[in-house]
A = this chain, B = another copy of it.
Amino acid sequence: MLESRKVFLVNAVLNYFSSLNPITPGFIQEIEKNLQPILVKKNKYILSPIDNNDDVFFVVSGLVRGFIKDDGKEITTWISLGNEFIGAIQHPDENIQPSIEYLQALENSELVPMPRTFINKLYSSHQETNVIGRKILALQYHAASERSILARIPSAERRYEKFLELNSFDVSKVPLRCIASYLGMRLETLSRIRSRLVKELV
């Protein structure tokens, strides 16, 4: 990756932070010194259960999903189109363990990894990090609560309608088989529901 592209990607993180709260020169310096952007090619894993769950990631561009395997079958737990932080589930007070989730790039994706230990240092050394962290966690908590409610709706059709209503991301940018997996239905069921809804609109 070109050095100028790396600078651009780290700046994208800084812009995101400063949209949440003013940041100080010392904070900016720490970020610029410590973060190393990465490019993850389409279909490659960013994290899998053989890896320690050391980092969260800011997604600048691309498409990323989280999934777990249950009985050998992949279940998509969330999907990200970028401009947000993502990460595998991790209890805040427990030691970092191997991830139980897989993180996978569905398109070539540019990410900025941020080690959890580094974030914890920033919380101590730069007060504004607590405001920024609180705002990011409030957004993540809201999104996870929506995912949790969505997954509990028993009827596949109402689940899809609720999904559209929540409008968490642009459906047209995500492969249908991923959306089907995220909504806990077979691809054929999702296609049938979608064509029925289109017919009702005509």
List A residues at the B interface (Cβ < 8 Å).
Answer: 68, 70-71, 73, 75, 77-78, 89-93, 101, 123, 127, 130-131, 133-135, 137-142, 144-149, 151-155, 158, 184
Contacts and interface: CB of A to CB of B under 8 A. Distances in A.
Contacts of A75: 152-154
Contacts of A135: 92
Nearest to A89: B145
Contacts of A146: 89
Nearest to A153: B70
A68 B92 CA distance: 28
A101 B145 CA distance: 11
Number of copies: 2
A59 B36 CA distance: 42
Residue with the highest number of chain B CB atoms closer than 10 Å, among A75, A123, A147: A147
A184 B152 contact: yes
Contacts of A152: 68, 75, 77, 151, 184
Nearest to A75: B152
Contact of A131 (B70, B73, B78, B130): B130
Contact of A145 (B144, B153, B155): B144
Contacts of A127: 127, 130
16 contacts: A68-B152, A70-B153, A70-B154, A70-B155, A89-B145, A89-B149, A92-B135, A92-B139, A123-B131, A123-B134, A130-B134, A134-B134, A137-B137, A137-B140, A147-B148, A154-B184
A78 to B, nearest CB: 8
Contact of A148 (B134, B139, B151): B151
Contacts of A131: 123, 130
A123 to B, nearest CB: 7
Given A148-B77, A152-B77, A142 B90 contact: yes
A56 to B, nearest CB: 11
